[in-house]
């Protein structure tokens, strides 16, 4: 019997023959199954796969119309990125029967197996669906299987659940969630724990517990920074003010605490960025005074977290039209410039975020004339997606 090796697997992947398997009343001819050594898995390779899938979702989701198409285009590639062979029923079982003893057979879309037992069940919905209204369904499936983890996804949003609050009772809130089109570095590291090469239930449960409380703390802290509660304000009043915390003092300190905490976080980020820049700089000896003056000017430029986050937002908008590698930034003391093909003559936009009372997004027309638009938060950049894409289309039309 001959087996065809799937060329999609990495060159370092080793394969073994697994023959045929009796499953659900049928004999399945099994392909060669990859036997991954932990050393074969690298977080960088995994990161690239997930990022590429995120870009694919952005590019194709407007063309995907059904739940089945969502599964094929988005969810199955996601399962494959975790190192599982979606065509091997010893690893991934579609339409997994959750309870063979029940009168009404319940099936979950996919189950990932380990030692012939489900360890992760996956329920999929159309990418346009709101996952919140499908919680009851995945909650029911969780109780009908022996799996310790459940994933509810629409191919864009991924919500992972387990039973941290009460044994064998799925938690109401996911311990790990992400949007694959905007997934962050730390989220990729957490997701990597579900990879076949290093899947360990106890390790994931430990991380799940930490993530649960970490996310809760972030939620509380974010809410306090946006609108400080009296208890939060009193914490600082008691430590810096000697008098009574009267209503007038509380009103005064509420705004003061909000501004000071925000400024403190910005200062911390700026200091860290400056330290990183200083550590990576190579010493340069130059006797020309004009070069020294230029170096001094560059030292005054600090790329802030807001500027970088704004760059990533603009990049996520524009990469639906062009390769994201063509989008670069150049920072200056006055503004943060985002350009095409590292060419100053192709400005895409400018961010005016520092040293001003108000924040602005600078947009360019076909004559490269800049128009400033006020933004309150970085999310307001999305409101100008059409204008940003129009600028790209203009440059592309020049070719």
Pair 272, 245 in one domain? yes
Q: Which of these ranges, 153-157, 271-275, 304-308, has the smallest mean pLDDT?
A: 271-275
Task: State both tokens at 223.
Answer: 């809410």
* pLDDT number for residue 38: 43
Eight-class DSSP state of 129:
S
Contacts with 264 (C-beta within 8 Å, 6 or more apart), sequence order: none
Task: State both tokens at 86.
Answer: 């979606």
* pLDDT number for residue 278: 62
* pLDDT number for residue 101: 57
Eight-class DSSP state of 31:
P
Reported as type and span, the H/E element at residue 73 is none
Contacts with 150 (C-beta within 8 Å, 6 or more apart), sequence order: 120, 121, 122, 123, 138, 141, 142, 160, 161, 162, 170
Task: State both tokens at 332.
Answer: 């200056």
Pair 122, 45 in one domain? yes
Pair 203, 331 in one domain? no
Q: Which of 182, 217, 252 is the last residue of a domain?
A: 217
* pLDDT number for residue 305: 85
Pair 200, 244 in one domain? no
Residues 15-72 have pLDDT tens digits of 343 444 444 444 444 444 344 444 456 778 899 999 999 999 999 989 999 999 999 9
Residues 149-195 have pLDDT tens digits of 999 999 999 999 999 988 888 999 999 999 999 999 889 999 999 99
Residue 120 within a domain: yes
pLDDT confidence band for 215 (50 / 70 / 90): confident
Pair 74, 179 in one domain? yes
Contact predicate 346/361, CB 8 Å: no
Q: Which of 162, 194, 217 is the last residue of a domain?
A: 217
* pLDDT number for residue 103: 62
* pLDDT number for residue 274: 66
Per-residue pLDDT, averaged over 232-260, amounts to 87
Residue 75 within a domain: yes
Per-residue pLDDT, averaged over 330-340, amounts to 91
Residue 69 within a domain: yes
Pair 54, 156 in one domain? yes
Whether residue 287 is predicted with pLDDT greater than 80 in this model: the reply is no
Pair 242, 374 in one domain? no
Reported as type and span, the H/E element at residue 120 is strand 117-124
Pair 58, 138 in one domain? yes
Residues 84-118 have pLDDT tens digits of 999 999 999 999 988 755 566 789 999 999 989 99
* pLDDT number for residue 56: 94
* pLDDT number for residue 91: 94
Residue 223 within a domain: no
Residue 296 within a domain: no
Q: What is the CATH number of the domain that holds 107?
A: 3.90.1570.30
List the beta bridge partners of residue 108: 96
Percent of the chain with pLDDT over 70: 80
Count of domains forming the chain: 3
**Residue positions counted in the chain:** 399
Q: Which of these ranges, 61-70, 145-154, 202-211, 284-293, has the smallest mean pLDDT?
A: 284-293
Q: Alpha-carbon Rg of the chain, whole angstroms?
A: 26
Contact predicate 125/151, CB 8 Å: no
Pair 207, 256 in one domain? no
Whether residue 319 is predicted with pLDDT greater than 90 in this model: the reply is no
Residue 3 within a domain: no
Residue 128 within a domain: yes
* pLDDT number for residue 128: 92
What is the pTM for the complete model shown?
A: 0.55
Give the domain extent around 326.
305-397
Pair 140, 110 in one domain? yes
| Number of other residues whose CB lies within 10 A of the CB of residue 276 | 11
Residue 7 within a domain: no
Pair 261, 128 in one domain? no
Per-residue pLDDT, averaged over 264-271, amounts to 74
Pair 248, 140 in one domain? no
Alpha-helix residue ranges (DSSP H) falling in the chain: 43-60, 67-70, 76-81, 135-143, 185-191, 201-226, 230-240, 247-280, 289-299, 305-318, 385-397
Phi and psi at 27, nearest 5°, equal: -90, 125
Q: Mean pLDDT score of the chain, rounded to an integer?
A: 82
* pLDDT number for residue 102: 57
């Amino acid at each position: 019997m001959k087996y065809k090796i799937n060329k999609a697997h990495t060159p370092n992947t080793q394969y073994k023959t697994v023959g045929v398997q009796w499953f659900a009343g049928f004999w399945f001819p099994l392909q060669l199954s990859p036997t991954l050594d932990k050393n074969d898995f690298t977080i960088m390779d995994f990161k690239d796969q997930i990022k590429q899938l995120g870009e694919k979702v952005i590019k194709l989701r407007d063309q995907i119309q059904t739940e089945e198409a969502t599964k094929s285009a988005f969810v199955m590639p996601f399962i494959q990125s975790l190192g599982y062979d979606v065509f091997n029923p010893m690893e991934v079982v579609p339409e997994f029967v959750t309870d063979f003893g029940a009168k009404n057979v319940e099936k979950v879309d996919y189950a990932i197996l380990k030692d012939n037992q489900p360890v992760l069940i996956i329920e999929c919905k159309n990418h346009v669906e709101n996952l919140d209204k499908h919680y009851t369904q995945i909650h029911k499936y969780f109780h009908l299987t022996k799996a310790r983890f459940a994933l509810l996804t629409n191919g864009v949003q991924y919500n992972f659940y387990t039973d941290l609050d009460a044994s064998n009772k799925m938690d109401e809130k996911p311990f790990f969630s992400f949007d694959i089109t905007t997934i962050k570095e730390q989220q990729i590291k957490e997701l990597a724990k579900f990879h076949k090469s290093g899947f360990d239930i106890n390790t994931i449960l430990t991380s799940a517990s930490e993530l649960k409380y970490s996310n809760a703390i972030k939620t509380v802290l974010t809410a306090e920074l946006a609108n400080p509660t009296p208890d939060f304000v009193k914490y600082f009043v008691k430590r810096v003010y000697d008098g009574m915390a009267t209503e007038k003092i509380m009103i005064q300190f509420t705004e003061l605490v909000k501004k000071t905490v925000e400024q403190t976080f910005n200062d911390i980020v700026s200091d860290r960025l400056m330290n990183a820049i200083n550590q990576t700089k190579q010493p340069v000896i130059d006797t020309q005074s004009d070069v020294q003056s230029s170096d001094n000017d560059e030292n005054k430029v600090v790329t802030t977290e807001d500027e970088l986050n704004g760059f990533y937002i603009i990049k996520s908008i524009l990469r639906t039209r062009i390769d994201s590698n063509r989008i670069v930034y150049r920072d200056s003391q006055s503004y943060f410039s985002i350009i095409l093909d590292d060419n100053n003559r192709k400005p895409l936009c400018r961010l005016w975020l520092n040293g001003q009372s108000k924040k602005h997004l600078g947009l360019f027309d076909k004559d490269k004339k800049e128009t400033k638009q006020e933004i309150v938060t970085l999310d307001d950049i999305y409101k100008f997606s059409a204008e940003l894409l129009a600028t790209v289309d203009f440059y592309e039309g020049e070719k």
